Structure formats: structure tokens, C-alpha cells
Amino acid sequence: MQGVVYKSTGSWYTVKTAEGSFYECRIKGKFRIKGIKSTNPVSVGDHVTFEVETIGDETIGIINAIADRRNYIIRKSVNLSKQTHIIAANLDQVFLMITLNNPPTSTSFIDRFLVTAEAYHIPTILLFNKIDTYNEEETDEIKYLAALYRSIGYTCIGISSTTGKNIDKVKELMVGKTSMFSGHSGVGKSTLVNALEPKLDLKTKKISVQHAQGQHTTTFAEMYDLDFDARIIDTPGIKGFGIVDMEKEEIGNYFPEFFALKQHCKFNNCLHIEEPKCAIKEALDNDEVAWSRYRSYVQMVNGEEENYRTDIYGEKK
Ligand SMILES: Nc1nc2c(ncn2[C@@H]2O[C@H](COP(=O)(O)OP(=O)(O)O)[C@@H](O)[C@H]2O)c(=O)[nH]1
Ligand SMILES: [Mg+2]
Ligand SMILES: [Zn+2]
């Protein structure tokens, strides 16, 4: 039989078939997936093949194959440096929720997130939440940001999860797809999901599983069906995609507006920092590339952490 993994607790996997039945499954033997050293071979969102076995009056599934992943997101395992934990697979899109204040979301955080999403090949939509709370100046700042990210090619929507403003637009984008909501704690992810489907009443509780060694706890993702033909993956306690290892030279490729220009740089290995005749720096001087974006880029190339808030023009605040 075939199905999609909706939940995993490390040793058991809940798999839903196309007919809509759920099976509790285990894995047969040890899986090795090419190129990934992962603590969990199967993750939420995986398409798997399994055989049904009946032991006594208990029916369980034995997973024997995983389909190739369209994409996946990982984070480093807490204890083992080289190992990674696959959080979720086969996402159609991620919604990054942003608020100006309560809590503040910096452009540096947004850009880091977008770069990682580009690297993982996951389309991102920016949701500027809590628009019911902003004064005129703050509304202008949101409009500026939305225009900036739209010009790069990202869909941006101003919403209010509490008043319901533009929630229908979010719904429309979700139909037929598997989505994930990300953003800092407090931006309104749970409130939005509850607004999308009140009866789901998303379990905000953490699904924590204590590992056998008792060294640390791990939180697992879970997939939910919404009644307008949409699925969401909830990742308790994980605000973004975690870390991804990237070569310096690679980072610029994940800034779409830089990538579009880089063929015009004099040097084809241009890092857009010190090099002469750099198309990105020229565009920056002509206000065709945003300073905040360039600043985020330089921070990433230099391996700096996002540790202070910048305003929309990239000035320290
Ligand atoms: N005014 C206003 N408050 C909101 C909105 N969305 C969420 N909140 C509030 O922000 C707080 C955090 O929301 P929550 O959904 O728990 O955030 P999460 O941590 O991202 O899941 C709660 O007090 C919500 O009521 C909004 O659009 N407008
Ligand atoms: Mg929440
Ligand atoms: Zn350049």
C-alpha cells in the first residue's frame, strides 16, 4: 500500500492512504538515504510504500520504501554534530509570518529565511500579520517591505489573524497544497491556523519524545488535513529551517535579484564585495537593489549572526 506520513514519534509512523485510512507503521530494517546522514530515515510528508501485517488482532504497517523527496528541511541533531534531523519533506510552500513589533522581525531574519528556503527549493510567501495594530508610519514600513519583496518575486499579503482581514487570500493559496507556517514565536501562527479552520484547534502542545538515553528531547512535526483541501505541517518549537551549510560563493544565488544580475559582473566568481565592475554594487548605487538585502547578504557571506534589529533601510536600530 502507499501513503503519506502524517506523524512520527521516532519509532512509529502514522501513514494516511489515498483512500483516507490511517495505519500505524514501523520501518523494516535500516534505511539508508543517499547523501543524508539523518537520525530519522522517514519524516512527516514522506510518500512511503508499506505492507500490512496482522499480529494477533493488531494490524500494523511495515514501511519498506520511501519515494524520492521533492524537497525536505533539516536541522542539525542536538547531540551529534554531523547528524541531521529531517523535520519535514515534500512541502509545497512555506508562509513566513512577519510582524514589525511584538515581536520584531528584522529584514536580516527575513533574508536569512528566504535564502534557506531558496536553497531548499521551497516557495515562500510573506504574510505581514497584525495589520490591525499598526499606525500610519508602521503601515508605511509594511508597505515598503511588501513592495520590496514583491519586486524580487515573492508573494506578500498583509493580514490580520484576529480580524480575519485577507485570510481568504491565504486560504486560496493553500488549496490542494501542503504548507508550513514559520516565523518568530508570537507572530500569530497558531492564531492564523485557528482562523483558517476553527475546529482544528491546533494542538499548541509540544509533542516531545524523550530519547532512550535521556539526553535531550526532540520535537516532531505533524501534518493536519484542513477541510478546504489543504494540509499543514506543524513544527512545534521550530521557528525557521535551522541551519544550512552553504559555501560563500553559493549565497548570492539564493538572492534572486542578485542572481539575475551576476552575469554582468566582470568576474564570474564575483562575491559582490570588493570586486571591481560588480553589477550588484552598481545596481545598489542606482537604488535597484535594496540596501537591507545587500547588508543581509554581506552578513551571511561574512558568517555573522543575525544579532541586532535593522530597520527597512538596513540601519542599525
Ligand atoms: N492584534 C492582533 N493580535 C494578534 C494577531 N495575530 C495574533 N495575535 C496575537 O498575538 C499573540 C501571539 O499569537 P500566537 O498565535 O500564539 O503566535 P505564535 O507563537 O506564532 O503561534 C496572541 O496574543 C494573539 O492573540 C493579529 O492579527 N492582530
Ligand atoms: Mg503557536
Ligand atoms: Zn558582483
CATH code of the domain covering residue 124: 3.40.50.300
Domain span including residue 35: 2-66
pLDDT tens digit string along 100-114? 999 999 999 999 999
Whole-number Å distance, alpha carbon 120 to ligand 2 midpoint, is 24
Q: What does the pLDDT average to over 177-186?
A: 92
Least confident span in 33-42, 146-155, 195-204, 210-219: 210-219
Atom of ligand 1 nearest to the CA of 129: 27
Whole-number Å distance, alpha carbon 299 to ligand 3 midpoint, is 16
pLDDT tens digit string along 186-197? 999 989 999 998
Nearest C-alpha neighbor of 97 from the set 125, 122, 132, 139: 125
- Give the C-alpha separation, 72 to 241, whole Å: 10
Q: Which ligand is nearest to the CA of 284?
A: 3
Q: What per-residue confidence (pLDDT) applies to 307?
A: 43
Q: Are residues 183 and 209 in the same domain?
A: yes
Residue 185, marked binder: yes
Q: Is residue 215 part of a domain?
A: yes
Q: Which residues line ligand 1 (CB under 6 A)?
A: 129-130, 132-133, 160-162, 185-191
Residue 317, marked binder: no
Residues 6+ apart with CB under 8 A from 75: 84, 85, 87, 238, 241, 242, 243
Q: Is residue 76 part of a domain?
A: yes
Residue 20, marked binder: no
| Band (141; pLDDT cuts 50, 70, 90) | very high
Say if CB 169 and CB 131 are below 8 A apart: no
Whole-number Å distance, alpha carbon 259 to ligand 2 midpoint, is 35
- Give the C-alpha separation, 76 to 7, whole Å: 20
Whole-number Å distance, alpha carbon 262 to ligand 3 midpoint, is 6
Q: Are residues 55 and 76 in the same domain?
A: no
Which CATH number covers residue 287?
1.10.40.50
| Band (176; pLDDT cuts 50, 70, 90) | very high
Residue 278, marked binder: yes
% of the chain residues with pLDDT over 70 = 81
pLDDT tens digit string along 53-90? 998 989 999 999 999 999 988 776 555 556 677 889 99
Instruction: Supply the pTM of this predicted model.
Output: 0.87
Q: Are residues 210 and 142 in the same domain?
A: yes
Q: Is residue 129 part of a domain?
A: yes
Whole-number Å distance, alpha carbon 193 to ligand 1 midpoint, is 11
Least confident span in 19-28, 137-146, 280-289: 19-28
Whole-number Å distance, alpha carbon 96 to ligand 1 midpoint, is 14
Q: What does the pLDDT average to over 25-46?
A: 76
| Band (236; pLDDT cuts 50, 70, 90) | low
For ligand 1, mutation pick of 96, 134, 161 (most atoms within 8 Å of CB): 161
Q: What per-residue confidence (pLDDT) applies to 175?
A: 98
Q: Which ligand is nearest to the CA of 162?
A: 1
pLDDT tens digit string along 186-235? 999 989 999 998 877 654 433 334 333 333 444 678 899 999 999 999 87
Q: Which ligand is nearest to the CA of 164?
A: 1
Higher-scoring residue by pLDDT: 202, 14: 14
Q: What per-residue confidence (pLDDT) applies to 235?
A: 76
Residue 211, marked binder: no
pLDDT at residue 305 above 90? no
**By alpha-carbon position, which residue is closest to atom 13 of ligand 1?**
188
The domain tally of the chain equals 3
Q: Is residue 241 part of a domain?
A: no
Q: Are residues 211 and 279 in the same domain?
A: no
Q: Which ligand is nearest to the CA of 267?
A: 3
Residue 240, marked binder: no
Instruction: For the chain, give the mean pLDDT.
Output: 85
Higher-scoring residue by pLDDT: 217, 9: 9
pLDDT tens digit string along 111-133? 999 998 999 899 999 999 999 99
